[in-house]
A = this chain, B = another copy of it.
């Protein structure tokens, strides 16, 4: 029997924060559950996503599970190999670096746009997020830092008033989170990150598009450097996707 980790999360949680009203679909809940399981590490990279096993475990039929698994594949959190099923995405150092490299120009530009034409209260909202982040940093709360970090970047992506850029950044977010899970935290990384976030907000408040882009790219470059340095020497996880993909 395949090794499906606990997954005790009941699907019948009935939390429906959907934009449209109506009963939550089983597919959506399954996607959310699987995404959560992957990003939390309950389902590890390389692990097989067996449709029958997951259906059995979740107490639902195979149809919504299959759809959910395919949706995760489209999200980049899983990869498909023909006639051999779907496995959780494995990101090697090369992929991780590529993700960070891709993020730079895209999110840098998004930050410029947010500064130039974002909503008037953007600065305040970002301040609120950073206030929460400051608490997390002071408490050494790694999980809280990640949460507020994601909120910070999402807020900027949403504020750039370009649905396409927003969409692209969302499609990077999952793989980014997957990549970040694989790196060890460096001492002081939270403090540095918060400081860099503050510079971005300062430029946005000044409506300085160019400065905001520069600050964000500096932040992302620093993040990339912190990540690269942790998986740098003689990494365990070889690329792996060269043969399967």
Binding site for B on A (CB under 8 A): 18-20, 22, 25, 66-67, 70-71, 74-76, 81-83, 95, 98-99, 101-102, 104-106, 108-109, 117, 161-165, 167-168, 171-172, 175, 243, 245
Protomer copies: 2
| Shortest distance between the CB of A50 and any CB in chain B (Å) | 18
Asked if A165 and B70 make an inter-chain contact with CB atoms under 8 angstroms apart, the answer reads no
Measured between beta carbons, the chain B residues less than 8 angstroms from A66 are: 67
Check B18 against A82 for contact (C-beta < 8 Å): yes
Out of B19, B75, B164, name the residue touching A172 (CB < 8 Å): B164
**A81 to B106 CA separation, bound complex (whole angstroms):** 28
Q: Are A105 and B102 in contact (CB under 8 A)?
A: no
Given A22-B83, A70-B70, A168-B171 contact (CB < 8 Å): yes
Please give the distance in Å from A223's CB to the nearest CB on chain B.
Answer: 15
A161-B245, A168-B168 provided; 15 other pairs, C-beta below 8 A?
A20-B81, A22-B83, A25-B82, A74-B74, A95-B163, A95-B164, A98-B163, A101-B164, A102-B162, A104-B109, A105-B105, A164-B172, A164-B175, A168-B172, A171-B171
